Structure 1
Amino acid sequence: MIVLKILLYILLAVLGIILIVLITPAGGEFSYIDGKFTYKVKLWIFDIMNSEGGGLYGWWKKRKAKKKDKPQKPKKPKKPKPIKDKKPKKKKEREKYEWEKELDDIPVNDPEADIKAEGSTSSEAVSESITGNTVSDTESVSEAVGKDEKKKKPKHKKDEDPEYDPFDDEEDEDKAEDEEKSSIGDKIEKIVDIWESAQRPMLKIFKGFKLKDLYIDFEIADEDACDCALKYGKYSALIYNGIAFFSELFTVRLKTIDVRPAFGVSKGRWDAAGKLYFRLGTMVIAGAWFLITYLFRTFLPEKLRKRKMKKSAARQK
């Protein structure tokens, strides 16, 4: 019982940690003011890293650098072991057995003479086999080769089957093409069904990205007044339309937006800042939503339809 309680507590602790990670927002802050870009990556209220080298990542890097800079203690040299002079061992000659002595007394034949004798016998056998071949042997070989070639020639369906109909092949080809078209159509239908089931969960994920306190302060500058006015019209249309488009996909909360022309000025100003946050729990909710919609909208109805078709086909038979 005690072991089961401990395992239950561990499981509850792990589930609690996972729940906290899914609920806590992760994101950061960014700003580009006076030509300087700064950022912060945060997990809830904890700073993970920033542009100034702080946060948990900066602390870990500094700690690692300190360990490298620490002087290491010199290791004591090991005492060399004394080398002993090894004397070569003398090999003791063993006494020969009686059967080894008898083998030494047996006379050995000359190998070169045996090789010459074998060569002469083999050359005589080859000459006899060559002279013994007749014309009838060559004719029999040619006839056998001709029969093999006749066997290898493929026979057309017309020769095998006298009732061969060429239109059967065309019908088979048409059936194969129809099957390929039906398989392609089924794949396209599946993709369309998946897309229809995933539209709202994907929008849920996009809406989970929250852009808060968006600050924009732009000055469109040009020395020529006409060019400055044209640039101001282009940039203002692009900025405001872009914010409207992003507000439909993501959750955007504005702080201040100011876009104005600066006539007769050579250099403009492009200041922007904001905060971006996202919760991992939204992805889990969107994934469960997609599975449920796909299951009850596409998967189960298709299974029921196929089962009905099979039953109707069996009844007709």
Structure 2
Amino acid sequence: MIILKILLYILLAVLALILVVLITPAGGEFSYIDGKFRYKVKLWIINLMDSEGGGLYGWWKKRKANKKDKPKKPKKEKKPKPVKEKKSKKKKKQREKYEWEKELDDIPVNDPEADMVPAVTEDTDSGAHTETAENSSSGVTAHTDEAPKEDDKKKKDEADDDPFESDDDDKENDEEKKSLSDKVEFLVGIWESAQRPMLKIFKGFKLKDFYIDFIIADEDAYDCALKYGRYSTLIFNGIAFFSQLFTVRLKTIDVRPQFGAAKGRWDTSGKLSFRLGTAVIAGAWFLLTYIFRTFIPDKLRKRKMKKSAARQK
């Protein structure tokens, strides 16, 4: 009983951690002010990393660098082992034995069996080879003349004996068309069931306190007016498009021209956040819609088609 209680407590603790991770928002802050880009990545309140080298990632980097800078301990030199006299005596005896055996190997020995082998003449071998070559060439020519005729007759007979070849080709084409139609239906079903869950995921990305302060400058007044018109249309249309996909909460948007100035100003900042729980909810939503909207109705429709086909037969 005690072990079961411990296991239950461990499971509850793991589930609580998973719920905390799913509920807590992960995101960060970004800003581009006075030509300097700054960022900060956070998990709820915990600072994971930032542009100044802080956070958990910066701390881990510094710790790794400190470990490398520490001086390594010098290795102890191993003392050479003293050579024993017994081994040297054994080696001397082995060397004497090898020298004695080498002297025996250098002595020439006559083989009595080598004299008993009869010599083979070249004339007999050449004559045998010529006879066999003539016999083999004559046999090959006889076979080669008859073989192509028999093969041509077999091909003609096979071509005449296949009256149902066109029916098999039609069946294969019908199967390919069915497989393509099934794939297209499968993809269409996935797209229809994934539209709303995908919008749910996109809406989960929240852009808060979005700040824009742009000054569009040019020395020529005409060029400055043209630039102002282009950039203002791009900025406002882009914000309208992104606000449809994501949740955008604006702080201030200020875009204005400055005639006669050489340099402009491009200051922006914002906070981005996302919860992992929204992705899990969207995934469950997609599975349920796919099962009850496309998978089960397709199975029922195929069963009805099979039953109707069986009755007609």
User: Normalization by structure 1: what TM-score?
Assistant: 0.84
Structure 1 residues 108-164: Cα deviation after superposition (integer angstroms, max 9, x where no partner): 4252x455x2523x85366357569988x865553333333334446345x357676
Q: How far off is 1:54 after superposition?
A: 0.6
Instruction: Indicate how the Cα distance of structure 1 residues 141 and 177 shifts in structure 2: closer, same or farther if over 3 A, else same.
Output: closer
Can you list the C-alpha shifts for 1:246-290, whole angstroms capped at 9, x where unaligned?
000001000000001111111100000000011111111111111
What is the one-letter code of the residue matched to 2:120?
A: G
Structural mapping, 1:92-107, within 5 Å: none
SS where residue 83 of structure 2 aligns?
Answer: coil
Q: What residue in structure 1 maps to residue 93 of structure 2?
A: 90
| 2:74 is aligned with 1:109 | no
1:200 maps to a residue whose letter is R
Higher-helix-fraction structure:
2
Asked if 1:208 corresponds to 2:204, the answer is yes
Name the aligned partner's letter for residue 142 of structure 2: E
Match of 1:40 in 2: 40
Deviation at residue 229 of structure 1 after TM alignment:
1.1
Question: What CA deviation, in whole Å up to 9, does each residue of 1:173-212 have, x standing for no partner?
Answer: 3443333223222211211111111101111111010000
TM-score, normalising length: structure 2: 0.85
Q: Does 1:119 align with 2:115?
A: no
- 1:284 equivalenced with 2:287 (yes/no): no
Q: Aligned equivalents of 2:267 and 2:226: distance in 1?
A: 21
Question: 1:194 is paired with a residue of what secondary structure?
Answer: helix
Give the match for residue 146 of structure 1: 145
The DSSP-based 3-state class of the residue aligned with 2:254 is strand
Aligned equivalents of 1:31, 1:140: Cα separation in 2: 92
Gaps of 5+ in 2: 98-109
- Root-mean-square deviation (CA, aligned residues, Å) is 2.7
CA distance in 1, matches of 2:263, 2:137: 101
Shift of 1:4: 1.8
AA aligned to 2:143 is A
Q: Across the two proteins, how many residue pairs are aligned to each other?
A: 298
1:142–1:225 CA distance, 2 compared to 1 (3 A): closer
**Change beyond 3 A, Cα 1:75–1:175:** closer
Are 2:310 and 1:314 aligned?
yes
Residue-by-residue CA offset, 1:282-316 (whole Å, 9 max, x unaligned): 11111111111100111111111111112222222
**Which ranges of structure 1 fall in alignment gaps of 5 or more residues?**
94-106
Q: 2:2 & 2:250 partners in 1: Cα distance? A: 55
The amino acid across from 1:211 in the alignment is L
CA distance in 1, matches of 2:176, 2:8: 54
